[in-house]
Amino acid sequence: MKSSFYTPAELKKLPFKAIGKDVLISRYARIYGMKDIEIGSNVRIDDFCLLSGKIKIGNHVHISAFASLCGGDKRIVLEDFVNISEKVVIFAKTDDFSGATLTNPTIPEKYKNVFEAEVILKKHAIVGVGSSILPGVILGEGTVIGAKSFVKKSTEPWSVYAGAPAKKIKDRKKDLLELEKQFLKEYNSR
């Protein structure tokens, strides 16, 4: 019986811009524009994820089932140790929903106002189930986004945000930075 993840040999044949080692990508994920997608080492992309556009994924990153990363011409960057929970959507490109222009991909560009900006999730960021992140957002290092949050503004590092729109609710501990050093020393010595 075939694994639900591509084998390392199968991954090497796929036309990614770059791909590291120890990568698990579900056969049920949908990835468009692989030539614009860079994937680091020790990354796992689960079932039914959608990745499209320019995306750069660091090391030790997990993208849970049903997550969507829509990069467009601007990048989505997931730095090391980022965790994306189920049903998260991240947009680097969106239509103007104010009513001033038409929307959707069937409409010619001259009738639309599309906004594009790079999205960056800094090291150790975690995005909770069902959250949405809009173009131009930078999640500071160690930021946690609570479940079902709507993030339209950049965040402070080592903070916890929740709500729609997301607001800071408390600071986050940095104890994990010591564990990261220990882990990387062990991981890199194998």
- The predicted-structure confidence for 143-189, as pLDDT tens digits, reads as follows 999 999 999 999 999 999 999 999 999 999 999 999 999 999 999 88
Could you tell me which CATH class the domain 8-188 is placed in? mainly beta
Q: Quick one: CA torsion of 152, 148, 171, 59, rounded to 10 degrees? A: -80
Spatial CA neighbour of 96 closest among 86, 109, 81, 82: 109
Kindly list the domain boundaries of the chain, sorted by start residue.
8-188
pLDDT tens for 82-139 read 999 999 999 999 999 999 999 998 999 999 999 999 999 999 999 999 999 999 999 9
Q: Can you tell me the mean pLDDT for 37-66?
A: 98
Q: How confident is the model at residue 189, as a pLDDT? A: 87
